Amino acid sequence: MLSWTPAGGPEQLYLSPTTRYGAGASIRGGVPVIFPQFAEQGSGPRHGLARNRAWTVEQQEQGADDALAVLRLTDDEATRALWPHAFALELTVRISGAQLDLELAVENTGDAPFEFQAALHSYWRVQSLTQAVVQGLQGCTYADQVRGGAQNVQHSSRLELLGQGPVDRIVQGLQGPIGLLDLAEVPARRLGLVLEGFDDAVVWNPGPEHGLPDLPPDGWQHFVCLEAAQIARRVTLNGGDTWVARQTARCM
């Protein structure tokens, strides 16, 4: 999904104005689905094969106060050339008032077991990165990808993103809800995230010298990727089994 404007509120997701569209392109913004590998932690394409493929709409419902959509992606000859397994992904999106629920289901539709990683790579919009605060990660350990995966302990009660360089952390040992505070807005905008089935969270921003062709030079100042993830402990699915995890976002 590329946009979420809750009832009575502003746009919550960032979408780069210079992002690429079309077959094979990965969109810079919204909520790309990462599967079956995170970053280069596998032998396939970076962040896997789900984020740059066309999904089909399986179901759509519109109620008086909510809306629901179910999207599906299955293996084909092209995906099996990159990752030799039979699978089906379903992304269920439900919007109600000030809440967005995303559920990711992974099914092994083959006979042989496979391992995978997954993430909902959410780009949350902020007015200014220098006034954005990530909350709820105190006391968690994290792998600092900027420092080659070095293990650290995040000791502060909140993570202030100062905008002085890239941030790329895989956070483990979550104790409860996490959130984002945008102090640049008046009143301050708060976003709470509850993760179910995901063990990890990722905090990412490329910094001012990002060099990304699909992001404006100042685009890094206007988003934080705070994403539900399953990275450190890979999931093993036997044939016919299904794994399900959820991310609930709520404007507070």
CATH number reported for the structural domain that contains residue 231 in this entry = 2.70.98.10
Sequence-ordered alpha helix ranges (H) in the chain: 77-82
Asked if the structure places residue 26 within a domain, the reply is no
User: For residue 157, what pLDDT is reported?
Assistant: 62
Asked if the structure places residue 135 within a domain, the reply is yes
Position 128 in a domain: yes
User: What local confidence, expressed as pLDDT, does residue 78 receive?
Assistant: 95
Going through the chain in order, the beta strands assigned E by DSSP cover: 33-34, 56-62, 66-74, 87-96, 99-108, 114-120, 123-125, 132-135, 141-144, 150-153, 158-160, 167-172, 178-182, 189-196, 200-205, 223-237, 242-251
Q: Is residue 18 part of a domain?
A: no
Q: Per the domain annotation, does 114 fall within a domain?
A: yes
The predicted structure's pLDDT at residue 24: 74
pLDDT value of residue 214: 93
Report residue 136 CA to chain centroid gap.
Answer: 17
In the prediction, which pLDDT does 20 show?
87
Question: Which residues touch 22 (CB under 8 Å, ≥6 apart)?
Answer: none
The whole-angstrom separation of Cα 31 and Cα 247 is 11
Residue 8 tokens read as: 């009575």
pLDDT, residue 244, reads 98
Q: In whole angstroms, give the CA distance from residue 181 to residue 128.
A: 11
Q: What is the count of structural domains for the chain?
A: 1
Q: Is residue 66 part of a domain?
A: yes
Dist. CA 6–CA 96, nearest whole Å: 8
Q: Distance (Å, rounded) from C-alpha 224 to C-alpha 45?
A: 23
Retrieve residue 185's tokens.
Answer: 């807005």
Question: In angstroms, rounded to a whole number, what is the distance separating the alpha carbons of residues 101 and 68?
Answer: 9
Q: Which domain holds residue 171?
A: 33-251
Three-state SS sequence of 28-83: CECCCEEECCCCCCCCCCCCECCCCCCCEEEEEEECCCEEEEEEEEECCHHHHHHC
pLDDT in tens, the chain (252 residues): 899 999 888 999 999 999 988 877 789 999 999 999 999 999 899 999 999 999 999 999 998 889 999 999 999 999 999 999 999 999 999 999 999 999 999 999 999 999 999 999 999 999 999 999 999 988 888 988 888 777 777 656 667 777 778 999 999 988 889 999 999 988 899 999 999 999 999 999 999 989 999 999 999 999 999 999 999 999 999 999 999 999 999 998
Q: What is the pLDDT of residue 156?
A: 64
Q: What's the one-letter identity of residue 150?
A: A
CA 195 to chain centre: 11
Is residue 190 a part of any domain in this protein? yes
Question: Does 131 fall in a domain?
Answer: yes
Structure token pair of residue 4: 């979420």
